[in-house]
Chains A and B, each alone.
Chain A
Amino acid sequence: MNIHEYQSKQILKEFGVKVPNGSAAFSPEEAARFAKDLSTDVVVVKAQIHAGGRGKAGGVKLAHNIDEVKSYASALLGRILVTHQTGPEGKEVHRLLIEEASDIEKEYYLSLTVDRKTAQIVMMGSAEGGMEIEEVAAKTPEKIFKEYIDPGVGLMPFQTKRMAYNMGFQQSVIAKASKTMECLYNAFVAKDCSLAEINPLVVTKQGEVVALDAKLNFDDSGLYRHPDIEALRDIDEEDPKERAAAKASLSYVNLGGDVACMVNGAGLAMATVDIIKFYGGEPANFLDVGGDSTVDKIAEAFRIMQSDDQVHSVFVNIFGGINKCDVIAAGIVEAAKVVGLRVPVIARLDGTNVEEGRRILREANVPGVHMAKNMVEGAKLAVELAKEKKLQARIKG
């Protein structure tokens, strides 16, 4: 789960990281009021969306008086911001962070994440602050320093000191930089983060070490023990179909094409998306109905897939292990009754109770439901029927 910059900063502040004074504003009036409360000459107006690259996209403005704050806020709120991380459709700005500007002496990069290979938390730091760290890693990997943290003892002072010296902090701020690392680590562990990133971390002209930006991502599996984090969820930032799917314990990712896929198991669901593309189609989604499907869950899956106007066919690809084909087949029949089938459905069933599943579909004889002999036939037919349906829609339109 992701949260906004201002929320991340609030959490880091609680753990002792120094952040600029600021508040989240939802209207130009609020923005102006918060700007007045700040005692600085220059105020930063920052668009709050769950994506990086906001500065380059025009989402960060420096205001020199209250009128400027107000006009920047009016211009940004409601605007669609397109950054390299949002995709071409961009994201609408609903919130702003109104923050005091800092006198920057130098920018750095600092982050924590879990290293899969060593099964340890790894701290990464670099003097190349404010840049895309992937770019730094690709071009000049020697400029990124790493400290692997022993889970038995946690982040040790020698490591924060070594990192601070490696990153090139002046002696006068070594202690403050080390302290920032320790605080960031404490937050990471306490809140079950999957990523904690400060980019840039700055040293100000006044000799303070300040998190100018902050990004915290959380491990979804750990959220059950952090209701305070769950409460920060911003549903405006999430795809409504992905959200509806999550509520029904379905795993769904919108992919934007016109052949919808309903599959059991994440691996097969990914591979089904791939095979649709392989046969010349455009997959509309990844959808894993999980190992314990019920008829209701299948019906809900159909509701979600068909709520996408772009969808022109549905490919059901099931290998019944724990999921039984008869339950899936009954689910398709039920979905046809309660949700209605707007587009052709192509079903490939194999595995546990396959004969029973095929019998249910055959006997129900639902118009628009096709049974495929095997996966290849099913994928090809789904692609073909989507193209036909699309053509019909175009002729009608």
Chain B
Amino acid sequence: MGIFVGKDSRVVVQGITGKQATFHTNIMKEYGTNVVAGVTPGRAGETVLDTIPVFNTVSDAARETGANVSVIYVPARFAADSIMEAADAGMDLVCCITEHIPVLDMVKVRHYLKNRKTKLIGPNCPGILTVDECRLGLLPTYIHKKGHVGVVSRSGTLTYEVTYQLTMAGIGQTTCIGIGGDPVKGIDFIDVLDAFNQDDETLAVMMIGEIGGTAEEEAAAWIKANMKKPVVGFISGRQAPPGKRMGHAGAIISGGKGTAADKIKALNDAGIEVADTVASMGETAVRVLKEAGLYDTCHTC
């Protein structure tokens, strides 16, 4: 089970002939992901990794292979166009890894997606992995073990870090998603929390936020009103100075808005425990699971 991607996902890789894309497609395949096609304009007819056919366009790939999920590894200046191409070809889900897409390009993308069914993860994200079923993006596979905790994060490395801490503590996962560090992006915390809430396999959620914007505050309010499962939080950037971009394009405190203190307060006010440091995310999760009487069920590895 898990959310958004699984065994039934038929994946097309946009930009598959690029070095990074081929490297990660190989890992995806080895993990058992059903990669059915690749797209690089001008390279139709070729084959990547012995078995994956390459097409000129996403529409061709979808028509010929029945692909319904796309992962994008194309350079920033072409990536917005690639997302729209995937949506136009009727993909259910598009996961865009690319960093440094201009914000105004993403404004256009969001407008384009408005009345379409396509769900977008990213950009500037590590992707998504449903344990033992499907991997899109960059996530290292060996840190994941099957279980009942969902992970959602704005940061790539923190997605890995928390997953690793959970696994080390014997707590397996359902699906791990990095939603990306850009200010204008696809799905946000609430979309993911909503899906985890409806997923029978997922019994608790680990949510990792950071400075900038107000998505964590909105998620806190949503959790308080709707979430039936325990959520454990962590926010990075407590020491970030205002007005400075901390690596991610979206990680910036502007006009006094988007501080870690505000986010932690909003989460605490909604009854959500927030780990003190990045090193204590796993142990905080264990404590919350024990308090909720879910520890034994969630101790899967």
Q: Do A and B come from the same complex?
A: yes
Interface, chain A (partner B; CB < 8 A): 85, 114, 116-117, 119-121, 133-134, 137-138, 150-152, 189, 192, 194, 219-222, 224-225, 251, 253, 255, 263-275, 277-278, 283, 286, 288, 291, 319-322, 350-352, 374-376, 379
B219-251 contact mask (Cβ, 8 Å, vs A): 1 or 0 = 000000000000000101111110111111111
**What range describes how many residues of B lie at the interface?**
35 or more
CB distance from B225 to the nearest CB of A (A): 18
Which of A192, A224, A267 contacts B154, CB < 8 Å? A267
Other A-B pairs beyond A221-B100, A278-B276, A351-B143, 11, CB < 8 Å:
A114-B184, A116-B214, A119-B106, A121-B107, A133-B255, A222-B102, A255-B241, A270-B240, A320-B140, A375-B278, A379-B279
A375 to B111, CA, bound (A): 42
* B111 touching A152, Cβ below 8 Å: yes
Enumerate chain A residues within 8 angstroms of B106, measured Cβ to Cβ.
119
Tell whether B51 is near chain A: CB-to-CB under 8 Å.
no
* A114 touching B104, Cβ below 8 Å: yes
Tell whether B108 is near chain A: CB-to-CB under 8 Å.
yes
* A269 touching B247, Cβ below 8 Å: yes
Enumerate chain B residues within 8 angstroms of A189, measured Cβ to Cβ.
104
Enumerate chain B residues within 8 angstroms of A85, measured Cβ to Cβ.
243
Interface residues of B in 74-115 (CB under 8 A from A): 76-77, 100-108, 110-111
Interface residues of B in 105-130 (CB under 8 A from A): 105-108, 110-111, 126
Which of A114, A221, A270, A278 contacts B76, CB < 8 Å? A221
* B156 touching A265, Cβ below 8 Å: yes
Tell whether B149 is near chain A: CB-to-CB under 8 Å.
no
* Chain B at the A interface: SS class: loop
Enumerate chain A residues within 8 angstroms of B207, measured Cβ to Cβ.
none
Enumerate chain A residues within 8 angstroms of B66, measured Cβ to Cβ.
none
CB distance from A53 to the nearest CB of B (A): 13
A103 to B287, CA, bound (A): 66
Enumerate chain B residues within 8 angstroms of A375, measured Cβ to Cβ.
278-279
Tell whether B155 is near chain A: CB-to-CB under 8 Å.
yes
Give A113's nearest chain B residue, CB to CB. B254
Tell whether B161 is near chain A: CB-to-CB under 8 Å.
yes
* Chain A at the B interface: SS class: mixed
**30 A-B pairs in the complex with CB atoms less than 8 angstroms apart:** A114-B104, A116-B214, A117-B215, A119-B106, A134-B256, A137-B255, A221-B100, A221-B101, A221-B102, A224-B76, A253-B244, A253-B245, A265-B156, A265-B158, A266-B248, A267-B156, A267-B236, A268-B161, A270-B237, A270-B246, A270-B251, A273-B239, A274-B236, A274-B239, A274-B277, A286-B247, A291-B156, A319-B157, A319-B160, A319-B164
Enumerate chain B residues within 8 angstroms of A266, measured Cβ to Cβ.
155, 157, 181, 210, 246-248, 251
Enumerate chain A residues within 8 angstroms of B100, measured Cβ to Cβ.
220-221
Tell whether B12 is near chain A: CB-to-CB under 8 Å.
no
Chain B CB within 10 A, most for which of A137, A138, A224, A269: A269
* B108 touching A151, Cβ below 8 Å: yes
* A278 touching B277, Cβ below 8 Å: yes
CB distance from B219 to the nearest CB of A (A): 12
* A221 touching B103, Cβ below 8 Å: yes
Interface, chain B (partner A; CB < 8 A): 76-77, 100-108, 110-111, 126, 138-140, 143, 153-158, 160-161, 164, 181, 183-184, 208, 210-211, 213-215, 218, 234, 236-241, 243-251, 255-256, 260, 276-279
Give A137's nearest chain B residue, CB to CB. B255
A116 to B157, CA, bound (A): 23
* A270 touching B108, Cβ below 8 Å: no
A40 to B28, CA, bound (A): 70
A117 to B185, CA, bound (A): 9
A150 to B77, CA, bound (A): 23
Give B211's nearest chain A residue, CB to CB. A270
Which of B103, B181, B215, B279 contacts A194, CB < 8 Å? B103
* B140 touching A352, Cβ below 8 Å: yes
A220 to B238, CA, bound (A): 24
Enumerate chain B residues within 8 angstroms of A277, measured Cβ to Cβ.
238-239
Give B23's nearest chain A residue, CB to CB. A322
* A116 touching B279, Cβ below 8 Å: no
* A220 touching B249, Cβ below 8 Å: yes
Enumerate chain A residues within 8 angstroms of B153, measured Cβ to Cβ.
267
Enumerate chain B residues within 8 angstroms of A133, measured Cβ to Cβ.
255
* A120 touching B107, Cβ below 8 Å: yes
Enumerate chain B residues within 8 angstroms of A117, measured Cβ to Cβ.
213-215, 218
Enumerate chain A residues within 8 angstroms of B102, measured Cβ to Cβ.
192, 219, 221-222, 225
CB distance from B196 to the nearest CB of A (A): 20
A253 to B240, CA, bound (A): 9
* B103 touching A219, Cβ below 8 Å: yes
A255 to B249, CA, bound (A): 18
* B138 touching A321, Cβ below 8 Å: yes
* A267 touching B155, Cβ below 8 Å: yes
* A221 touching B181, Cβ below 8 Å: no
Chain A CB within 10 A, most for which of B111, B157, B241, B247: B157
Give A151's nearest chain B residue, CB to CB. B111
A9 to B93, CA, bound (A): 43
* A267 touching B239, Cβ below 8 Å: no
Enumerate chain B residues within 8 angstroms of A116, measured Cβ to Cβ.
183-184, 213-215, 250
Give A152's nearest chain B residue, CB to CB. B111
Q: A267-B156, A270-B211, A271-B158 are in contact. Are A351 and B164 (CB under 8 A)?
A: yes
A119 to B246, CA, bound (A): 21
A278 to B248, CA, bound (A): 22
A134 to B259, CA, bound (A): 15
* A270 touching B210, Cβ below 8 Å: yes
Enumerate chain A residues within 8 angstroms of B215, measured Cβ to Cβ.
116-117
Q: A271-B236, A274-B236 are in contact. Are A222 and B278 (CB under 8 A)?
A: no
Enumerate chain A residues within 8 angstroms of B76, measured Cβ to Cβ.
221, 224
* A272 touching B278, Cβ below 8 Å: yes
Enumerate chain B residues within 8 angstroms of A114, measured Cβ to Cβ.
103-104, 107, 183-184
A85 to B279, CA, bound (A): 33
* B184 touching A286, Cβ below 8 Å: no
Enumerate chain A residues within 8 angstroms of B126, measured Cβ to Cβ.
321
